């Protein structure tokens, strides 16, 4: 009992610690399970170790291969829901040059960054793990200068470098793995159907956040701040994101179509430095 | 049962660690980390300066001096100037590959670049009736391949962005 209590304590408080500490803890967790006297046979032990491995994945984080599978699938859902992609080579070229310029100085510069425009008149932007960034046509038309576009894309890049979507799955894995350790004794979790179901559930968790509830306000403010800083260090006017938010606030209109999954515009504007709006420029 | 003294100190230690992380920044006297597969150090704070060394991913550096957006850093005997946007103030995380081995994020993502949609995503598209979206993403991937790293570099130079400011 004492061992379990210590493990639970460690899980709660070490969830955000360094990778090396996490790996060290995982070994301890597996060793502790191996020594668990409640286990009565090899099958039970193996199943519990599987659960420990799942638990450990939640702690250690999702690796690049899994991130790609998740990111590609979330990107499919985004494109499917928002009218497909605008197939305009000039628009795509501009968005990718500005986006890739920003991504070069992001905290994950080696990621496979891709930027697309969604064929929707709503005003929003989305990102998916593994470097997928999307801006709706409705928002793109408001980004008449590259400073503003950089502010918008910087916000979405920050969601990816901050692993905000992946953390939804990682936290969920921690919970389910934890339940596996504490409650499961002999469940068969290795079959293909169960794995597919688990994969689809993970994607659903991310898309329901993206399309319905939105990230927690703290994550959005963090992405606003980090995105602004990224635009600034890249050389774009740091007030780009704020200027488009102010523009949208002044315009009013149907709030359900304007950053509907983000915190209120007024609160986001208040939290960003009051900097001059970018000067209009020609785009190409 | 009273907790042992070591356990009583954990919350305070964790709080201290959080504060230290929150205050991390790229300033002289501080610490920076490389975040690219390769980071070139230069003799002067200019992209045209001659290289003085090359660092691998995740190296911890001491920030010696700052000039605008450029930092003079040292890694033991190796030192030089680097654009601030090429470094990060937090240690890049190690990740695990599909085989479960610990590896560096940059090493894997660099080789993963420009791969087609994963088999799992293609199967997901079939299960969820997202065939049209899959075609769109295939098109986007093909278009994005056309924007090379050299194109981005030329864009930065022309626009006077990044290290070319």
pLDDT tens digits, one per residue of A117-156: 999 999 999 999 999 999 999 999 999 999 999 999 999 9
Residue A281 confidence (pLDDT): 59
Strand ranges for chain A from DSSP E = 114-118, 125-128, 132-136
Which of B132, B152, B160 is the closest to A100 by Cβ? B152
Q: Nearest CA to A129 among A111, A145, A147?
A: A111
Give the residue, A7 or A151, on which the prediction is more confident. A151
CA distance, residue A214 to nearest chain B CA (Å): 22
Contacts of A105 in chain B (CB under 8 A): 83, 85-86, 162
Q: Find out whether A80 and A206 touch, Cβ atoms under 8 Å.
A: no
Nearest-Cα residue of chain A relative to residue B84: A233
Distance in angstroms (rounded) separating the CA atoms of residues B165 and A54: 47
Q: Do B165 and A73 touch (CB under 8 A)?
A: no
Distance in angstroms (rounded) separating the CA atoms of residues A279 and B97: 45
Asked if the model's pLDDT at residue A237 lies above 90, the reply is yes
pLDDT in tens, B32-49: 999 998 999 999 999 999
Which of A60, A62, A104 is the closest to B152 by Cβ? A104
Contacts of B165 in chain A (CB under 8 A): 235
Contacts of B114 in chain A (CB under 8 A): 112
- At B88, give phi and psi (nearest 5°): -135, 155
CA distance, residue A249 to nearest chain B CA (Å): 29
Quote the percentage of chain A above a pLDDT of 70: 69
Residue B76 confidence (pLDDT): 92
Distance in angstroms (rounded) separating the CA atoms of residues A90 and A92: 5
- At A132, give phi and psi (nearest 5°): -90, 125
DSSP state, B3? P
pLDDT in tens, B59-117: 999 999 999 999 999 999 999 999 999 999 988 876 555 445 445 554 554 455 568 99
Complex ipTM: 0.80
């Amino acid at each position: 009992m004492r061992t379990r209590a210590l493990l639970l304590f460690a899980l709660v408080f070490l969830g955000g610690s360094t990778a090396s500490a996490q790996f060290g803890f995982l070994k301890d967790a597996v060793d502790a399970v191996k020594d668990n006297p409640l286990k009565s046979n090899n099958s039970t032990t193996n199943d519990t170790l599987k659960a420990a491995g799942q638990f450990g994945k939640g702690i250690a984080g999702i690796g690049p291969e899994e991130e790609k599978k998740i990111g590609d699938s979330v990107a499919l859902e985004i494109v499917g829901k928002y009218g497909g992609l605008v197939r305009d080579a000039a628009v795509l070229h501009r968005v990718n040059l500005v986006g890739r310029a920003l991504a070069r100085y992001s905290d994950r510069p080696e990621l496979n960054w891709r930027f697309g425009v969604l064929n929707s008149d709503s005003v929003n932007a989305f990102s998916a793990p593994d470097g997928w960034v999307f801006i709706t046509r409705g928002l793109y038309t408001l980004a008449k200068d590259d400073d503003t576009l950089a502010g918008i894309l910087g916000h979405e890049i920050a969601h990816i470098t901050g692993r905000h979507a992946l953390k939804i799955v990682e936290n969920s894995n921690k919970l389910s793995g934890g339940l596996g350790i504490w409650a499961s004794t002999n469940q068969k979790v290795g079959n293909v159907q169960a794995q597919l179901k688990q994969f689809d559930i993970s994607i659903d968790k991310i898309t329901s956040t993206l399309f319905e509830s939105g990230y927690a306000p703290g994550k959005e403010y963090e992405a606003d701040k980090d995105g602004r800083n990224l635009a600034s260090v890249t050389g774009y006017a740091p007030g780009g994101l704020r200027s488009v938010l102010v523009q949208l606030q002044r315009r009013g209109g149907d709030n359900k179509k304007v950053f509907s999954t983000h915190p209120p515009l007024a609160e986001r504007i208040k939290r960003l430095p009051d900097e001059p709006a970018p000067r209009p420029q020609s785009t190409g | 049962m009273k907790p042992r003294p070591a356990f009583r100190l954990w919350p305070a230690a964790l709080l201290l660690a959080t504060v230290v992380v929150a205050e991390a920044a790229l300033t002289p006297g501080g610490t920076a980390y490389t975040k690219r597969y390769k980071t070139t150090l230069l003799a002067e704070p200019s992209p045209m300066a001659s290289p003085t060394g090359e660092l691998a991913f995740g190296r911890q550096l001491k920030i010696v001096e700052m000039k605008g957006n450029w930092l003079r850093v040292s890694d033991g005997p190796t030192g030089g100037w680097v654009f601030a946007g090429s470094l990060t103030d937090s240690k890049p995380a190690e990740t695990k590959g599909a085989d479960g081995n610990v590896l560096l994020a940059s090493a894997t993502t660099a080789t993963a670049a420009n791969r087609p949609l994963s088999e799992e995503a293609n199967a997901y598209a079939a299960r969820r009736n997202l065939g049209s979206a899959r075609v769109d993403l295939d098109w986007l991937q093909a278009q994005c391949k056309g924007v090379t790293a050299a194109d981005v570099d030329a864009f930065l130079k022309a626009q006077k962005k990044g290290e070319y400011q």
